[in-house]
Amino acid sequence: MAPMKGLTVFIADLRKCRSQEDEERRVNKELANIRTKFKESSLNGYNRKKYVCKLIYMSLLGHEVNIGHKEAVDLVNSARFSEKQIGYLAASLLLPESSELMRAVVGCLRRDMYDANECIVCLALCAATNVATREIAESLTEDVVMLLLAPSGSPFVKKKAALCLLRLLRRFPESVKARQWAARVIPYMGHRDIGVTLAVTSLVTALAQQQGDEMRKASTFAVRRLRSLVLDGERVADHMYYGVPAPWLQVKLLRLLQYFEPGEQRSELLGILRRIIDESQEAPRELQQMNAQYAVLFEAINLGIHVDVDQGLMHESALLLGRFITSRETNIRFLGLETMAHLATCIDSLDPVKRYQGVIVQSLRDRDVSVRRRALDLLYSMCDVTSAKAIVAELLRHMAIADAALREEMALKVAILTEKFATEYSWYVDVMMRLVSLAGDHMGDEVWHRIVQVILGNEELQLYACRIALQTLRAPVCHESALKVSAYVLGEFGHLIANAPGCAPLDQLKALQARLPGASLPARAVALTAVAKFTNLFPEIKNLCLRLLDRFRGALDAELQQRACEYYALATVESESLLPTVFEEMPPYPERQSALMSRLLSRETDTEDQRTWVVGGRDINRSRSTRRPADEDAPAAAAAAAEEKQETAQPTATPATTTAAEAAAPTSLDEPPALTPEEEERVAKSRKHYARLLWESDGILYDGAEVQVGMMAQYKPPAARIGLFLGNKSAAAICDISIQAETSDDSGDLVIQQAADQDALPESLMPLGQARVFFDVRCHRVFAAAPTLRISYTLAGAPTVLELQLPVTAAHFMDPVTISVTDFFARWKQLGEATIGESQAVLKTPFLASDADAIQWLRNVAGGMGFALIQGADVVPDNIVAVGIATTEAAGRFGCLMRVEPKPSHSLTRVTIRATNPTLAKAVATNISMIFDAR
């Protein structure tokens, strides 16, 4: 991009500004000039780009920029790459997500994604990734998926498409509808380009966190690729980094496997992890090699902890981690402490970790704050009953010199550990009162609230707590949080020590009153409540308490004034039962999760990939593991595995003379052939797949024991492109693959042929591999019969032929058209009188009575078939009225009207189709009938 002199001068002027005021004056002056220029009609592309660049620079400096939005969209629509680049950059930085212009940007993105220039396509993908609004996720996800799955796409475009999907998935997981395409991206983990492999692996990792069951096949791909890199010695020169084969890919694959249970791959994973750990024993020669090798090693240890494959391996890992936490390299110490914290949350015995307790405590004084934070996490995770006192004492000792950013987290963890592992009441009270005195300014009210809850729930604790509370009030320095705890405890249980020397009611009141002048308003409010309770507990000092309350009746703070007035009024009412009733001792709080634990867990934020563990003990991680997506889907996965095992136990080789036409929707349903129960089940499943593809653009067409056939269609009447995906489900490679599609007759009404711009089919397809082929379809005239798909392959020396019916009918070349209600019924009446083409059927729809969303499903089907719904056209709200136009190349266009009248009470639905072509009306009615039957 050529330098722009005006932009260079403007940046230089801003850099010369000596104050914020000078910069604001220069920015305001330039904004006024830009507004004037934007009003000129003769503004060319170069100047528009220059002024938008100035606005971008102002925005990056933090100035508010609310102009130039339209000009940014104009740049996006430009044919020049440099102007389009600046336009997309401005759209991502200046346009708010709610802007009406964002819709125009979405349209430009879709157009650029299908540009012939690869650079334009990549620019559009990058812009969609950066903007990433909900509208982009809902509108462009399908287009991005097609770019990723396109067989003729370049690796660079595929990589950008995968990263774009990853961004959209993380921001709006419910809008991208990942379940429709997630399984199809898994084979790209084995792509020949490592950039595509890395991007797709990151995408699959994000999908695995949300859809554990659908992504289980990814674990097989990951293990296979790891085996080739680690065990088989795959050495590609472009992928070697200082002697380590593709370390970035190894790290991503090892992290992906942590979201799945190992299952039958446990022994193979053990061999891979063992090799990685053994190779790490050799001292790296260079810093770069050490970074790469240790990155793989730490992720391998994390995977070993997750799999729990071998206790000996974990013991060896603990020894390695002990060496790493004493390393001179800050990064190595950080990773060693973090991984050891993971180890401490999962192993049964903490002895291998406790031997390094002294080193971990020393890490609290590390010069790097991130290392200190990881050391705190590790001490928190490795604490148990035997080591609690020592660890808590070290943390309290370190709290006085700890960073302010670390004190709150440290205080929370000390409070949790003290409550969790306290074996003596006196130790708990001493530690907690010292904690609020040391770190009261750096922690929230949850800590002192929790102290009060624990004291109220333990009678044995209350007497000792009162003594410590009075001592705290008499100390030279009393923190505000300590004052709140002491006031609350004495107000509730001060009578327990009233007879002890130096603890008389008057002594308690004087100690509390001495702290009031320097206390904050919230602390004074708690103290006033304690004084009001003294009027009930100690009648002998009631007059002194009333005098103190009366002093605060004129307080400037409304809260203190209201409390004092109400307490004074209660104490002076002539009723013997009112005061004891109101100030009755607080009952124990019900058992529930500690607010401290909830606050600590809320600090565990997931940024990129969600961790499979949290800092804490084994109990919390075991309860968390039951909520992981992979474990939630475990029953479904077990059922799927059992079903797959049952299918693979059946004969899998079909003779070459036998076809599988019955697997897809058969053309004749009146006389079905005699089938076994297993075949009948498979036919029923295939009919559902076929029916679903009659109104959805992608899905499974055939799912057998050996192969699975997926389909993706994009219709632009009168043309269409059909993508077919053949997946190998068997345990052996299949070869001699042929995929052909042909029409059912020679009339020429429908033309289907393989697309020219695609790769040839592979000679062999490995297990879990996928082959793709695309067909171009043209509708010359309205046709009656759907085309036939013929797939042949050889498995284990036995040839197999599948003949399937492609769900491509005349009804698929329909575009939605919106007309008025008056025009609809006029046209409806006209077609009915002409009897050109009408098809009517009353269909059984038992799901109407049991499914509350059935009516909405009917509307979705009508919309998916290419009809536009006419709202309010029928007096019955549940009836559906829709319009569409079918387009052909040779015969022109044909209108089609639809009325669907559901009767939930009778479980029947009447469907009436009227069209200007009888074949079209029959095709639409047949499709609806098959869709309803499959439901």
The answer to whether 54 is annotated as binding is yes
**Sign of the dihedral through C-alpha 626, 630, 636, 641:** negative
Contact status, residue 814 vs residue 886, Cβ threshold 8 Å? yes
Classified as helix, coil or strand, 534 is helix
Cis peptide before 718 (omega within 30 of 0): yes
Closest C-alpha to 682, from 661, 698, 667: 661
CA distance 53 to 195: 31
Q: How far apart are CA 471 and CA 338, in angstroms?
A: 41
Per the document, the length of the chain is: 935
Give 519's DSSP letter: S
Contact between residue 492 and residue 585 where contact means Cβ atoms under 8 Å apart: yes
Question: At CA 771, angle to CA 769 and CA 772, rounded to 5?
Answer: 145
Cα-Cα-Cα-Cα torsion 371, 377, 382, 386, nearest 10 degrees, comes to 100
CA 17/CA 23 separation, integer angstroms: 6
Binding residue per annotation — 51? yes
Flag whether 50 is marked binding: yes
Rounded Cα distance between 661 and 652, Å, is 16
H or E segment to which residue 710 belongs = strand 707-716
The amino acid sitting at 590 is P
Binding residue per annotation — 729? no
Query: What is the torsional sign of CA 585, 586, 591, 597?
Result: negative
Is 793 annotated in a binding site? The answer is no
Residue 458 token pair: 């333990």
Output DSSP code: residue 188.
Answer: G
CA distances from 890 to 745, 750, 783, 894 (A): 17, 11, 12, 12
CA 519 to chain centre: 46
Largest Cα span, the chain: 112
Q: Which residues does 82 contact at the CB level (< 8 Å), separation at least 6?
A: 1, 49
- Spatial strand order of the sheet with 770-779 comes to 698-703, 707-716, 719-728, 770-779, 750-754
Torsion sign (Cα): 623, 626, 627, 628: positive
Under 8 Å between Cβ of 786 and 178: no
579: nearest Cα among 524, 539, 527: 539
Annotated binding site: 37, 46, 50-54
